Structure 1
């Protein structure tokens, strides 16, 4: 993650007395029992290293969201008047009281604010590396080594953590804490039919599609770029990319994508990635000669286990978002083909990530996410809140109102929707105002069909 190590407010924290309520812990999040599939395996070492990440409240996030809607509305006087990085960071930077309170709390536990705390460029996402014993003291938590019964993966987590009451209004989330994982992959949005025969013999060159379904290649505008995101150790293979061009876009042969690593993300040419190859081949196949940037970010998103999406390790979205948002120069179109059942993402995490997507939008970026490839719901469609209700499962981050969820199609002339494409109404996020005219007529037409299966 890209961090600025010095923050203006740190010079003042030593002048403030530590409030007494910083010593009164109140539960921030807890599981009633160990998440399904896990069991206690061992006691971790007191010196086990933890990189603690702290999300501070964003002081003027509602103002930023209102601005996003204004600059995105063709009928609004501010349409197209996007914000700069500095203007966005001014709206989301934490209130000084939040900074003071969190710094006092960290200082109380022996953290040197000037030398040990890293932060993103907005100052609302802190990171500090500490031994486990100190983390347990700070969070009034008891960590254990947990083993996943099916995969045999082991992680150090807690089933509950607390923060001083005074910090609950200043901190959105802390991790890693109750986010369990088993190094399993979250959904990568591709659908493979192993029984299908090859569509065309190798080396077949297809004629251009003409008429309404065709398109005319455009010259790449100066400065225009497209960002393609990749996670889960999915890599774009350059040789495969050229093979794709030779078959489907011969005028692009020799063209390549730029690879940008975040947090040590790799692009190993010996490891073929189905999702990464698919995403880059079709994006560049359509957008050539516009430059494409492939962002490779390690890690998977923290989840609450359900019947389809397994629990996973540290999130990739916030790492990627903080990296991109910290730069003045960035693409203004992004496409992502990853996600998982919305209910498997802790709500506090989903809200925080969604607000970061709003920051991208306020700066003028269009962010596209695949809506899913499991139909109206994958697996058993059971809720994971203990009630075991059957509902349609929407996919996050496509459910975030500040991104564009895109379903799958097949065929051309005419193009048609595919039966495994997903979508649905969010449980976490209220219906955005821009859908006010489209959704009610749809629901009226639907009538009582599927009543009770969606919100």
Structure 2
């Protein structure tokens, strides 16, 4: 009997089970041929890391981030984080033994325990297809001609599957990216790449002083008045680093920064952000033909307002060279050396792989080279549906690690309401199209370990003393419910109250109506009519791209006050801002909606809503609350 049971257990363990499956080909890509069986694949197995399930990560973050925790503010060191999330010996031995039993010699298998990956050298397509019970095909992007290798689904033995988080290459299309020229390849910063970009309208004939015309022209003075944001920093940027992230070829123009400063902050004329180049990041776009609003608008907007609001103390993380480009993963590599190959590492199809072998490319490999700033603001994002659940989970876990180390990470929530970038919505089979009817949330905003920032507006004819509404001029505040991530504990009361009091008039075929998924955004700030210096003049600019760095500036100054008082940084703020104590620190936005996908979207309402989150910040009250915490 024992022998029979043992044989049965072995049979079950060896039985292949589905591990990952893609439901659609992302917009713009088409399958053109089956991959050559003799071609080589850079086959890598990202091991399941201990303690990285969402519930465990949330519990760990709660300990250092919730105001009621006795360990509030006692953030972890980078060394403690790396040790806590190292791959287990059991996972390594299981995957290696499986590959060996499948006929692969030991000299073809390499292991990196610290970063948690197993690589199979010189694997042919035929070998990979046999190993994973799948077929690999070549896909081509219609706009660029860029090729991508992927399979529809793959299988693993039942005993191996729990030890593998993801395999590359496999089902993922980890970015929707377009090649613009031979010098510009995979890159978040490419115009038309599908990521969030600000929107420009008319030129500004005359700048309007004071705060009397903030309904038609937002300036730093308007923002200070709206959010009671008056503060003079006491620490230097090196003592309290605050970073804005940009992706080459997006880059600021120094003369535009000076033009803005001359009108709004004369002391900053000639001042530049502290420059941190990651993987060859450069602002010399003119040499590559990258100039004009499509290349300079985002960075100019972010830096002009952030630098003015915090008196110049800003660091710029400029990511990626002009030849290869970069992704969010390249930024995270630089902030955490263990992430470079964590759970399989970067994907050569979709992330910048350095050293860059392209002509003139960056010859370094920036892994763990940058100490994370206390606040990091990013005004870019994908559609959640662009990525697999495994890919987003891997990246989301990294944001949790940064939170454990006391870092605040903010992302803009998108500019198309309940639709995704490009106003794309989902079809029942998962395809993204302009005619889709299913809501399409953004990522990384839907990661429960970042703070998602939506957009508001001052309504025409109103003043800074009047209530704002959800932004519906030119853009609509991105918001909705994740299709990948569960509702975090810190958000449960707020989201359930919204759904109970304001049940959306849509069926479960239109959005994730379970009431158990992560909702975005978390909070908001004005995103309309920003007077921005571009190409030597001023233009009105719109977007959650503007909202995120404004909120980040306020949080950076709260850190300034806490650090000066000998306290810790505020770190991951979501568990705090959803508590009753912080309820009065936000202007509740109760008007407007975020239309998209042929609907009105969700409606702003009293309390939390998936249009403007908790509302807009009142800096003075937030500062007082956080200064009262240990």
The equivalent position to 2:429 in structure 1, one of 385, 389, 393, is 385
Q: 5 Å matches for 1:346-365?
A: 346-365=388-407
Counterpart of 1:124 (choices 116, 130, 136) is: 116
Is contact 1:235-1:276 (8 Å) kept? yes
**What is the CA-CA distance between 1:144 and the residue it aligns to?**
3.2
- What corresponds to 1:191 in structure 2? 198
Partner of residue 51 from structure 2, selected from 60, 64, 77: 60
* 2:164 alignment partner in structure 1: 171
1:103-137 deviations in Å (ceiling 9; x for gaps): 345565346479x5567xx4235566646445555
| Residue pair 1:64, 1:362 contacting (<8 A) in 2 also | no
CA contact (8 A) 2:320 2:326 kept: no
Quick one: structure 1 residues 410 and 217, their matched pair in 2 at CA, closer, same or farther if it must change by over 3 Å?
farther
Three-state SS of the structure 1 residue aligned to 2:159 is helix
Do structure 1's residue 438 and structure 2's residue 480 form an aligned pair? no
Structure 1 residues 248-263: aligned runs within 5 Å: 248-263=264-279
- 8 Å contact kept, 2:446–2:485: yes
- Cα distance in 1, alignment partners of residues 148 and 132 from structure 2: 18
Compared CA separation, residues 318 and 387, structure 1 to 2 (3 A): closer
User: SS state of the match for residue 261, structure 2?
Assistant: helix
Q: What SS class does the counterpart of residue 425 from structure 1 fall into?
A: strand
Counterpart residue number, 2:104: 109
CA RMSD of aligned residues (A): 3.8
Choose which of 51, 59, 63 in structure 2 pairs with 1:70.
63
Contact 1:238 1:269 in 2 (8 A): no
Which residue, out of 442, 445, 455, partners 1:398? 445
Cα 1:137–1:233 change in 2 (3 A) is farther
Give the whole-Å Cα distance in 1 for the aligned partners of 2:42 and 2:205. 48
Aligned to 2:381: 339
User: What are the Cα deviations for residues 193-239 of structure 1, in whole angstroms up to 9, with x where unaligned?
Assistant: 44x2326369x9x8956756452332334521122223364233334
Q: How many correspondences in the alignment?
A: 419
Report the CA distance shift for 1:39/1:382 in structure 2 as closer, same or farther (over 3 A). Answer: closer
Q: Answer whether contact 1:52 1:127 (CA < 8 A) is retained.
A: yes
- TM-score of the two chains, using structure 2 as the length reference: 0.58
1:418 aligns with 2:471: yes
Q: CA 1:232–1:162 in 2, change beyond 3 Å: closer, same or farther?
A: farther
- Give me the TM-score of the superposition, normalised by structure 1: 0.77
Q: What stretches of structure 1 of length at least 5 have no aligned partner? A: 1-18, 300-312
Q: By how many angstroms is 1:442 displaced?
A: 2.3
Q: Structure 1: how far apart are the matches of 2:281 and 2:95?
A: 30
Q: Which moved more, 1:87-96 or 1:234-243?
A: 234-243
Q: In the alignment, which residue of structure 1 is the partner of 2:331? A: 320
Q: Map Cα deviations across residues 264-321 of structure 1 (whole Å, 9 max, x no partner).
A: 444433124232333233322323332413141479xxxxxxxxxxxxx998233432
User: C-alpha deviations, 1:340-370, integer Å up to 9, x for none?
Assistant: 3323321121222111111111111111010
- The 3 A distance-change label for structure 1 pair 137 and 374 is same
Structure 2, unpaired ranges of 5+: 1-9, 179-191, 211-218, 338-367, 514-630
Per mean C-alpha deviation after superposition, the further-off stretch among 250-259 and 237-246 is 237-246
